[in-house]
Amino acid sequence: MQYLPNDTIDVLLDQFGQIETITGDPNFPTTTDAWGGNDTVTATITQPEAEVTIFGDDNTTLHGQSHGGNDTLTVNVNYGWNAALVVGDAQAMTDDARGGNDTINVLDDSLYTNVQAFGDVAGDMTGNSHGGNEEIIRDVYRKMVAVRVYMRAKKVKDIPQDEVERALREGKTTGAEVEAIFRLTSLPTFEERFVVPPMERDTSVESMFPVLDPVSRNYPVYKGAVGTGFHINPQRGP
């Protein structure tokens, strides 16, 4: 495995229509396994019609067991009518290549600016390749397994307690949280599952009162207490 250096690259686009392509690890090896450096790339745009493209590793395809670096990519756009393409690792991945745990920051204080950001690749990921920071997804699945194991042990009682405790430990959760997740996802009421805004409130309020009859004068008290006008209901004099 070839390890590439950790680079810090700062680029200023201060000319009208300037176009730049920046790679954290230029000439990334494609015929051998390599591990990209943990690069820090910053591009600042101060003029219109400028375009910048940033690859955390290189504008190429990661092959074999290659691994993208953990890069920090930042674009500062301070004018307008600009374009930026930020790619965490490379153009594409194949075989067993893996992306790095990249951080992408786009600070845009302008108008009519087109920014595209890709966490791993801008193109295709084929073979057994996968993106970086996969531990987040693994933690989610472990917690889902913990919920299933815990509730099955509670309801069916066919799973040993030590396996339940191991599932909770690997899922980084507790019995109380599992109960809450189960309650929220499996047993919610209609009101808990959906937020339904009130509709035709005036019609529902009207249905609470009898039909107005000018002969019997069955006017409800609330009718004289709403809207603009007097605060005291009109009364017939003596």
What is the DSSP track for 13-68? E-STT-EEEEESSTT--SSS-EE----EEEEEE-STT-EEEEESSEEEEE-TT-B-
Q: What is the C-alpha end-to-end distance of the chain, expressed in Å? A: 104
Per residue of the chain (238 residues), give pLDDT as tens. Answer: 888 999 999 999 999 999 999 999 988 988 788 999 999 999 999 999 999 999 999 998 899 899 999 999 999 998 888 999 999 999 999 888 989 988 888 887 777 888 888 888 888 888 888 887 766 667 888 898 999 999 999 999 999 999 999 999 999 899 999 999 898 888 888 777 777 766 666 666 666 666 666 676 665 555 444 555 555 555 666 5
For residues 84 and 78, the answer to whether their CB atoms sit within 8 Å is no
The whole-model pTM stands at 0.58
Quick one: tokens of 190?
A: 């209609």
Q: Which helix (H) or strand (E) holds 155?
A: helix 135-155
101-132 b/e with 16+ CB inside 10 Å = b? Answer: bbebeeebeeeebeeebbbbbbeebeeebebb
Q: What is the DSSP pairing of strand 114-118 with strand 83-87?
A: parallel
